[in-house]
Amino acid sequence: MSASLGTALFEAAAFVALLTACALPLSNYVVKAMDGCPSLARRVLGPVERGCARLVGASEQDSMGPGRYLAGALALTAVGFVGLFVLLLCQGFLPCNPEELPGLPLDTAFNLAASFATNTDWQPVAGESHLSYFSQAVGLTVQNFLSPAIGLAVAFALMRGIAARSAEGLGNVFVDVIRAVLYVLLPLALIGALVGVAQGTPQTLAPYETVQLVEPVAVDAEGNVVAADDPAAVQEVTEAVVPLGPQASQVSIKQLGTNGGGFNGANSASALENPTPLTNLLQMAAIMLLPLTLVFCFGRMVADRRQGRALMVAVLVLLAAGIAALTAAEFAGTAQLAADGAVYTGSLGQPAGNMEGKESRIGTAATALWTALTTAAASGSTNGSLAGLTPLGLVVPLVFMGLGEVVGGGIGTGLASLLGFVVLTVFVASLMVGRAPEYLGKKIGPAEMRLAVIIAIAPSLVMLAGAAVLLLVPDAAAGAGASAPFGFANTLYAAVSAGANNGSALGGFEANTPWANGVLGVEMLASRVIVLACTVLLAGRFAARETSAAQVGALSTASPLFVVLLLVIVVLVGALTLVPALALGPVAEAVL
Amino acid sequence: MNPLMKRALVDAVRKLAPKAQAANPVMFMVYLSALLTSVLLVLSWFGIADAPSGYIAAICAVLWATVLFGNFAEALAEGRGKAQADSLRAAKRDVEALVLAEQDLAAAEGEAQGALLRAAAQSVSSSTLAKGQLYLVMAGEQVPADGEIVLGAASVDESAITGESAPVVRESGGDRSSLTGGTTVLSDWLVARVTAEAGHSFLDQMIAMVESSARAKTPNERALELLLIALTLVFLAVSWTLYGFGAFSASTQGAANPLGLTSLVALFVCLAPTTIGALLSAIGIAGMSRLNEANVLATSGRAVEAAGDVDVLLLDKTGTITLGNRQAAAFVPVDGVDERTLADAAQLASLADETPEGRSVVVLAKERFDIRERTLTGAGFTVVPFTAATRMSGVDFDGHEIRKGAADAVRAYVEARGGTYSAQCASVADQVAREGGTPLVVARDGRVLGVIHLKDIIKSGIRENFADLHAMGIKTVMVTGDNPLTAAAIAAEAGLDDFIAEATPEAKLEAIRRYQAEGHLVAMTGDGTNDAPALAQADVAVAMNSGTQAAKEAGNMVDLDSSPTKLIEIVRIGKQMLMTRGSLTTFSIANDLAKYFAVIPALLVPLYPGLEVLNVMHLASPASAMLAAVIYNALIIVALIPLALRGVKYREGAPATLLAHNMAVYGLGGVAVPFVAIKVLDVALTALGVA
């Protein structure tokens, strides 16, 4: 291990440790906020909560069964989806559109609406060149609050179901969503936005600005940017357009809500969204903060914090393995990169490694760490080009997403996916010790098993099916943007990203085609709705189960042994499904 | 070849019927895959082929073998039950039944009652007997139907059902009044009322149970099946999408897609959890069969499974925890009496007492003071037997009265005769009770002599047994008619977790309800009619075969041996069945890792030669790798049949230890075994020149 790799891993470890330490007290606050306990935020925003609740006719006392809770969650998702879809189609007629951008085509609008309503934030088109301020702020940013709030609500429904002593309701979905927005997402996003503005991220409704370039550049016949004195230059460029708009407010919630959709196409690699080392650090933290917090919340909700800690260990082990593998692969680069000194992969005062696709002010280590975090949590925001990753480095994001939101995942859905795997593990482990399966006093029968396996395998099935369809459509080769295995990896990545509700992409993939928009849009909706629905139904099943007595010598679900088995099952069931695809994509690329 | 095997082989082929296959979703998919490769094979003969005809034929043959091996496992498990059912059927034949009218019963009285009844009875076929009818069975005749004895007592040979050749006594009234069709009356005669008609009798139920024809999938089995179906679907998706992946990868290189239908079908069968899928039902059937071998009949598979999950055992003290009888352990004289005098009086009082307790007093007196047995036949000796009213027994001779009995009974007797029941005696009696013994107070002529310490003898080894159960998380509760003091002492000595003293049937029922409300699953044994409500309430209720019909109907298992310790064995069988399922599931899933390393390079190397690095086993060729993997997949089913039938080695211990052990054996083993086996098969295939 080179010294610079060691430093990078040490920094990553310190970062994750600090983040986990922050998640612990935050989990206490989140549990209290969702339960409606008094807090500073509640004192200020209490009237808003009551007003919103009255507006939708919801009351905390009206605790819902699984059917109504699910109907509410799906209704909110549907309203978000349809609302955003219509808004994007009609963008040209709506206000706050200084660049006079037209409405989006049907397929693009469908894809984008599905994407933001499902917390995926896959973007077939770059925001700054296709979306008005109104679409960004009222369309995307609103969904960036609503979709994680629905996820958070559903996660709490599941936790309440598991913790329920006997046939209790799961809570009120509308009250939960309102609280999630008001007390959890809004205060954190406000802090993030203020820091962003202070660091230089734009927050304005003024039109885009045209600026003179300090040093002119030129474009060649194919439209590539070249030096001004390049012989291939056909036209000199002396000015640039700087996209402005309400960026800081959207950037902070895109990170906090595991959304990931940037204001600009370049996402957080852009100097506007991510101007300083401080914003880079804080945004990275914001990606993983709430997913980790929810794992601790689980321990608090079931009144056994060891359970939360055990799951946290499982998540951190997977996360650490991914970060280490990705960072090592990027520092090592590849033989091709180093050949003829094409890319300098050594260390020059600061670590270099594979600088391809990296923003030079951010560097290899911070990009690798960010990439691991953004695919472990279902965020998808990026601070570099993922297409520039080494083939083996690319395996890590694919595996993280292929596991189906287990390593942190999206807000709420991540915890639900993890618990789906926990149920499978409990089932197998219990049988091995000769007991009927039971998790935290709740029996696991066929009904629970059915829901848990669907949660665990649905994303895998959706992504595999999506990838196969995208690869078999007539213009598959054109959409993939390159020949196999690179083109295969591009398409595979898109399908996996959509199926995992992640939203990150490899640049080579031609995303804005009717096929891609349609297939990926359906994937995102299917994956999200199936996981949400099964989670709420599972919560209902658990709530309806009597809690059995704590037994002497019962199988401990907080022991290291259990965590090991959980990891084995996650890897065997979750990751093995991707092995053939990985072999044809990044692995084939690595051995070419 | 042994007939069981022969039968299983025939049944394995018979089970190829689609209907039989559809019952097992995982194997049904393998079945469809085998059919598909058969079609591909036929097509290949006409030149429509995605691979060499020989390769398709080999894959096709191995897939059919996989299906047959799965069938064979199930058939073999069922075979043992079928053999047992056949022998039971021999006992179940139409016999002549002697039907009596109600008035015949009333009319026949006196010495020659049996003969009178015989004369009045009408002979019909046993299959026509209706519920509620009365029938008569004479010595040497087979009992025509299940019944409740209303008149008479007889010794009955029940070996046809229990396998126990010693005859048992059956009589009207009390807890031994049930009569089972198919058994034989050896002496005397019995009149019984039909409780089950032909086709619904105990014997019919038994045959159905051991034959597994009445076996429905248990909830746990269905839950596991859901997991297996899910995995099957995933791997179906993996293999079929791989076609698209391959097609794309090949087309951009201008090559043909190397991933043919045959190979993808083989890939699917390799990855699907066929090992556990093929053995799942065999494990369940074998579990039932092990229970049958322990001479326990369960009315449903669900009961066996519940047995594995029981966490409270209500155990009758007598026979389970202690030997049937209490024994005299010491003479404790009081009020200045010497021990020998007490022993002498106690022996006299017990000479006529034929109960084991009474005998033990005589034995102790002989051991301690060599007081010989005397005969009480002389003049002036009057034996006073124990009655429920006096709760004392003893002897009167030469104007003396010797009595022994429960402390309060003797106290009343002494005080009525104007004697004093001293504080010393009371405290000694209390002390004995506190130590778990039963005090018997001996008095002569209205004067207390002392106390006999009757002690319960805890069965040897039972304490360790309970410690094991405790480690497994099972709470043991002793049920006894003793007073709380005695009960507590015995419970402590035997290492039980709790006890129910002065237990009445109502108290038992109450305790079961209380445990269930706390979320426990409760198991109990019972025999009497008054146990029926508690049996009906318990999750696992084992009725003694010697017990009443009501008890048997209320329970969900019948113990043909009527052994009180059987409950512990039943729990073990239930747990072992769950463990076998879990271990083989783990093994099956763990196998996939090695199979991936064998199959993926084999399939993809033609596209990307560089992927040869994944061929860590260095298998000779893609064809040999593929064949080795599917052959391993088929053979492992056969290799694991004995384990599925026998069950994994049952151990008791803390769950963490068990989990670690089984994970190491079946998890790590499941990863390692196929690497070795597939390599060996590959070498063998290459050496034979097959591939």
| Predicted confidence (pLDDT) per residue in A354-366, tens digit | 888 888 889 889 9
Q: Cβ separation of A446 and B223 shorter than 8 Å?
A: yes
What distance in Å separates the CA atoms of residue B513 and residue B525, rounded to the nearest whole number? 15
- Would you state the pLDDT for residue A378? 92
A573 contacts on B by Cβ (under 8 Å): 231, 234, 589
The mean-pLDDT minimum among A432-441, A550-559, B435-444, B597-606 falls in: A550-559
- Tens digit of each residue's pLDDT (9 = 90 or more) over A124-171: 999 889 999 999 999 999 999 999 999 999 999 999 999 998 767 899
CA distance A61 to A53: 12
Chain A contact for B245 (CB, 8 A cutoff): yes
- The per-residue pLDDT for B111 is 67
Closest-CA distance of chain A to residue B691, Å? 23
pLDDT at A216 over 70: yes
Best residue in A428, A455, A563, A577 to probe B by mutation, most B CBs within 10 Å? A428
d(CA A228, CA A216): 6
On whether the CB atoms of residues A185 and A256 are closer than 8 A, the answer is: yes
CA distance A392 to chain B (A): 13
Q: If we measure between CA atoms, which residue out of A34, A36, A57 comes closest to residue A46? A: A36
- For all residues of chain B together, what is the average pLDDT? 85
pTM for the predicted model, two decimal places: 0.86
Q: B590 at the A interface (CB within 8 A)? A: yes
The pLDDT confidence band at residue A333, using thresholds 50, 70 and 90, is confident
Least confident piece of the model among A163-167, A319-323, B130-134, B316-320: B316-320
CB contact (8 A) between residue B586 and residue A436: no
pLDDT digits (tens, 9 = 90+) for A449-508: 999 999 999 999 999 999 999 998 888 877 787 777 888 999 999 999 999 999 999 988
Q: What tokens were used for B356?
A: 């084991």
Nearest to B519 among A448, A465, A549 (CB): A549
The answer to whether the Cβ–Cβ distance between B231 and A471 falls below 8 Å is: no
Judged against a pLDDT cut of 90, whether residue A376 lies above it is answered with yes
Complete edge-to-edge strand list for the sheet that includes strand B134-138: B122-125, B96-100, B134-138, B189-196, B146-151, B178-179
CA-based nearest distance A257→chain B, Å: 30
**The tokens of A271 are what?**
């100097």
Q: Which residue of A has its CA nearest to B240?
A: A468
Task: Give yes or no for residue B670 having a pLDDT over 70.
Answer: yes
A580 to B659: CB separation less than 8 angstroms, yes or no: no
pLDDT at B482: 76
Each residue of B565-623: pLDDT tens digit?
788 888 888 889 899 999 999 999 999 888 888 888 888 988 899 999 999 999 998 88
Q: For A573, which DSSP code?
A: I
Please say whether the dihedral angle defined by the alpha carbons of residues B675, B679, B685 and B686, taken in this order, is positive or negative. Answer: positive
- What pLDDT, on the 0 to 100 scale, is given for residue B644? 93
The DSSP-derived string for A413-473 is HHHHHHHHHHHHHHHHHHHHTT---EETTEE--HHHHHHHHHHHHHHHHHHHHHHHHHHHS
Degrees (nearest 5) of the Cα angle B364, B367, B368? Answer: 85
DSSP B480-538: -SS-HHHHHHHHHHHT-SEEE-S--HHHHHHHHHHHHHTT--EEEEE-SGGGHHHHHHS
The distance of Cα B348 from the centroid of its chain, to the nearest Å, equals 46
State residue A3's pLDDT score. Answer: 63
Contact A454 B230 (CB under 8 A): yes
Any A CB within 8 A of B581 CB: yes
Distance between CA atoms of residues B411 and B421, nearest Å? 6
Q: Report the residue from B248, B519, B574 with minimal CB separation from A476.
A: B248
Which residue of chain A is at minimal alpha-carbon distance from B312? Answer: A551
The alpha carbons of chain B give a radius of gyration, in whole angstroms, of 34
Annotated active-site positions of B, please?
316
Question: Cis bond leading into B439, ω under 30°?
Answer: no
Tens-place pLDDT, residues B349-379: 887 777 777 888 888 888 888 877 776 666 5
Q: Which amino acid is at A180?
A: A
What pLDDT is stored for residue B139 in this prediction? 85
CB A354 within 8 A of CB A343: yes
Contact A440, A310 (CB under 8 A): no
d(CA B660, CA B652) in angstroms, rounded, equals 13
Residue A51 confidence (pLDDT) above 90: yes
The H or E element that residue B169 is part of is strand B168-171
For B534-577, how does the pLDDT look when each residue is reduced to its tens digit (9 = 90+)? 888 888 888 887 777 777 778 888 888 877 678 888 888 888 98
Query: Which residues, other chains included, contact B526 with Cβ-Cβ below 8 Å and sequence gap of 6+?
Result: B532, B534, B535, B541, B542, B543, B544, B547, B551, B554, B555
Which residues are CB-neighbours of B199 under 8 A, at least 6 positions away? Answer: none
- Does residue A340 have a pLDDT over 70? no
Residue type present at position A323: I
The DSSP annotation for A120-167 comes to ----SS-HHHH--HHIIIIIIIHHHHHHHHHHHHHHHHHHHHHH-SSS
Q: Is the ipTM of this complex over 0.85?
A: yes
Looking at chain A, the whole-number percentage of residues with pLDDT higher than 90 is: 70
Query: Mean pLDDT across the stretch B32-49?
Result: 92
Residue B602 touches partner A, C-beta closer than 8 Å: no
Closest CA to B274 of B668, B592, B607: B592
Q: Quick one: DSSP state of residue A103?
A: P
Distance CA B444, CA B351 (A): 15
Q: Would you place residue A347 in the very low, low, confident or very high pLDDT band (cuts 50, 70, 90)?
A: low
Per the structure block, which two tokens stand in for B472?
């497994």
Run of H or E residues at B52: none
Name the residue among A429, A464, A471 with its Cβ closest to that of B248.
A471
* Tokens coding A416: 């639900």
Which candidate, A150, A210, A140, A222, places its Cα nearest to that of A179?
A150
* Spatial contact of A464 and A581, defined as CB atoms under 8 Å apart: yes
